Structure 1
Amino acid sequence: MKALLPRTERGRLTALYGSLLLLAGGGLVALVYVLVGQGLYASVSGVVRTVSPAYRLPVPGETADLGRKPEPARTMAPGESPTPEELKGYAFTQDLSGAVTDATRHRLLMYSLLALAVFAVLSIWLAWWMAGRVLRPVGVITETARRLSGENLDQRISLDAPPGELKELADTFDAMLGRMEHLVSAQRRFAANAAHELRTPLAVQRAAAEIGLAGEPSPQKVARIRERLIGVAESSEHLVESLLLLAVSQEGLEPGATGPVDLAALAAAELAADPPHALTVVRTLAPLTVTGDRALLGHLVRNLLTNAVRHNREGGRIVVETSADGELAVSNTGPVIDPADVPRLLEPFRRRAERQHTAGEGAGLGLSIVAAIARAHGASLVAEANAEPEGGLKVRVRFPLPEGQCTVTGAPGSKIG
């Protein structure tokens, strides 16, 4: 049965549409033939009877005068029998009505079958054309997908068609191509930036070894070069650990590594372990328990606090808040940031200013790691630039609350310096 079906979608649609149209046309022809046939004999018989019985049949040897007006039919009295001539007239009327009815039915059947054959040819052609029109957007999508590669993801279908399912499919495909182009571009930038970030400390180490230790350096110079090499190695180690953490965060959570985590207690512990100096810390920590990986959530809080301290100004302020509705927010003062630059700060190796390769300078992965950990936990992250004159950035992470957890009123905030 499957071997008899057409091999293309257009052929299948043509067979389907053509069969439906042919079935509808055949049904219409049959219906007309039956309806006309049922009333045809009565109509013909009635017409013939109004004319034929009114004529007097010619007797043998008499010439019939067809131009003569018909004589009115004789009205028989009750109980009177028709004459033999009248019986012959009635029989003639019945035979004539039957012959005319049969001839008309035969002619109607022939014309109907001829019309059905023409309709069948037109139906198949119309079904083929209609299937081509319907599947044209699918062909455009297929051709565009066939031309796509990693080098031309900027191509789009841009289907010019009225609103409908296929138009929605083409627009969805274009949106998917846009996301793919963005992801591929981000991956390329990430690879290039990672290579650059890893190449820089290697170049510094090689220069220190080839130039600083050339000849017979003094013990003091060897000590300085050693300290320099250790610092570069630590920076490289931190960069590699950050890259691994980013990769782990993007893979998602392991099923057995999740559990309830108190973010308020986690934030308080991070602040107590490494309190910011020369900065005012305002914390409003309402109880907030979420389900997740405690180690990754610790990195999330730590990176937010480190970013808030590193990009602050002297005598600035850090605000740390948790709320019972599932939100963790960290805000700081600092340089004024253009709101248009905020989305770029969440990408790997993106900084507000060019890297200076100075001590304590980050690798530009902190906020991207925060975003990856938030996505792994099903949380939404929103970063906003603070208005002048405070400047700085406010990052809010909203976590989905566990089922059955109610919103409670948080404890009043406290201020530590």
Structure 2
Amino acid sequence: MNRRPGLSARLKLTISYAGFLFVAGAVVLAVVWVFLLRHVPDNDQGLLGISPNRHVLLMVFTPAAASALAFLLVFGLLGGWLLAGRMLAPLTRIADAARRASNGSLSHRIRMEGRKDEFRELADAFDTMLEQLESHVTEQRRFAANASHELRTPLAISRTLLDVARNDPTRDQGELVERLHVVNTRAIDLTEALLLLSRSDRGSFTREPVDISLIAEEATETLLPLAEQRGITLDVTGETTQTAGSAPLILRMVTNLVQNAIVHNLPAGGAVTVHTESQHGASVLRVENTGHPLPPELVPTLTEPFRRGTERIRTNEHAGAGLGLAIVHSIVRAHDGTLDLTPRPTGGLLVTIRLPGNPQPSRQDP
């Protein structure tokens, strides 16, 4: 639907100012007429200068009044145009920033100075929005590039293995099938992790009461064989604590934490402790493990997608894609919680998650 171009805001304000001055002037002249001129007698004595005469006064007053109204109209148009332009200048800067953003330039900022008024608040809010959009777009581009790189690797390996098998028919087919199976499993796991990360980022899930202590027990039972295989002691302590959220997502969150704590641990004799409790109206989950010391500057980067610590162990049994803690962080954020990573002085990591508590309804005695 095509719409005809309308009047600009500046022209509308100009017409409004001029119209207001014109009406105000007309009202003043009407007041003069009502309360002054109509009480002047209309006789011929005024021609001899003996007494005021309404006819003469009208002849003198009318041209002067018309000139005054014309002056007010012109003055209102010119003054209103300049005043409206000055008042709407901040909107012009905001509109220019919006046009730049629509063309893909998110680095521009308005940075309006002066006293804090409605336009200043609008400009500051727009700058904040641009900053968040730029950060989000940069993160998405980096994530897409890393995801493409990670997915390209298993596909390239599969292609190489197939080329080798085609060029060497005498090669052991069983070994080829096993290696293809490992590579394809890794690609499938990575794709599922990407989909889960996208789902948790959108927050598209139904909230329901979830007992984190039961989730912790389920996750540790699932990963107990892995812990026993690596000689890791796995311990679950704490009390019943509930939150509101998605049980499958929270299960994946706890599973990723415990799995990371097992894999990134000491070669032998390590330990992992999972603790749940209610604290100040929040549901708290702590996962602590032994391991190699982590540099403090490395810890804040562990929740970024596809980031792996330089000192972290990566074995063939668990060739992670660097999405474990990124998924944890995304799930915690989607549940309005907080994630805290603290390196232990003796080595290893302490992960503390706080989620909003879900108070259980009080039971009434029959």
Deviation at 1:216, TM superposition (A): 5.4
Residues 223-281 of structure 1, C-alpha deviation per residue, up to 9 Å, x if partnerless?
A: 444433222222122112212222332343345xx432211111122223323344455
Q: Which residue does the alignment assign to 2:240?
A: 287
Query: Take 2:139 and 2:218, find their aligned partners in 1: how far apart are those partners?
Result: 34
TM-score by length of 2: 0.80
Q: 2:85 aligns with which of 132, 142, 145?
A: 132
Matches within 5 A, 1:5-404: 7-31=7-31, 37=37, 98-99=51-52, 103=56, 107-149=60-102, 151-211=104-164, 214-215=167-168, 217=170, 219=172, 222-255=173-206, 258-275=207-224, 276-277=227-228, 278-281=231-234, 283-314=236-267, 315-323=270-278, 325-333=281-289, 334-337=291-294, 341-353=298-310, 358-359=315-316, 360-376=318-334, 378-386=335-343, 388-399=345-356, 401=358
SS of match in other structure, 1:349: coil
Deviation at 1:384, TM superposition (A): 2.9
Query: Take 1:216 and 1:322, find their aligned partners in 2: how far apart are those partners?
Result: 60
**5+ unaligned residues in a row in structure 2: which ranges?**
none
Query: Take 1:336 and 1:25, find their aligned partners in 2: how far apart are those partners?
Result: 83
With over 3 angstroms needed to count, the CA separation of the structure-2 counterparts of 1:348 and 1:172, relative to structure 1, is: same
Residues 10-38 of structure 1, C-alpha deviation per residue, up to 9 Å, x if partnerless?
A: 22222222222322333344445655558
SS of match in other structure, 1:127: helix
Q: Is the 8 A contact 2:292 2:311 kept in 1?
A: no
Deviation at 1:212, TM superposition (A): 6.7
TM-score by length of 1: 0.71
Q: How many residues align?
A: 349
Identity value in percent: 33
Q: Report the AA paired with residue 21 of structure 1.
A: L
Q: Report the AA paired with residue 166 of structure 1.
A: F
With over 3 angstroms needed to count, the CA separation of the structure-2 counterparts of 1:249 and 1:211, relative to structure 1, is: same
With over 3 angstroms needed to count, the CA separation of the structure-2 counterparts of 1:14 and 1:282, relative to structure 1, is: farther
Q: Report the AA paired with residue 18 of structure 1.
A: A
SS of match in other structure, 1:207: helix
Question: Which structure has the greater CA radius of gyration?
Answer: 1
Query: Take 2:154 and 2:184, find their aligned partners in 1: how far apart are those partners?
Result: 8
Query: Take 1:39 and 1:365, find their aligned partners in 2: how far apart are those partners?
Result: 92
Q: Report the AA paired with residue 243 of structure 1.
A: L
With over 3 angstroms needed to count, the CA separation of the structure-2 counterparts of 1:328 and 1:279, relative to structure 1, is: farther
Query: Take 1:381 and 1:135, find their aligned partners in 2: how far apart are those partners?
Result: 42
Q: Is the 8 A contact 2:240 2:277 kept in 1?
A: yes
Q: What is the root-mean-square deviation of aligned Cα atoms in Å?
A: 3.6
With over 3 angstroms needed to count, the CA separation of the structure-2 counterparts of 1:184 and 1:141, relative to structure 1, is: same
Query: Take 1:369 and 1:210, find their aligned partners in 2: how far apart are those partners?
Result: 35
SS of match in other structure, 1:353: coil
Higher mean Cα deviation, 165-174 or 381-390?
381-390
Q: Which residue does the alignment assign to 1:73?
A: none
SS of match in other structure, 2:52: helix
SS of match in other structure, 2:108: coil
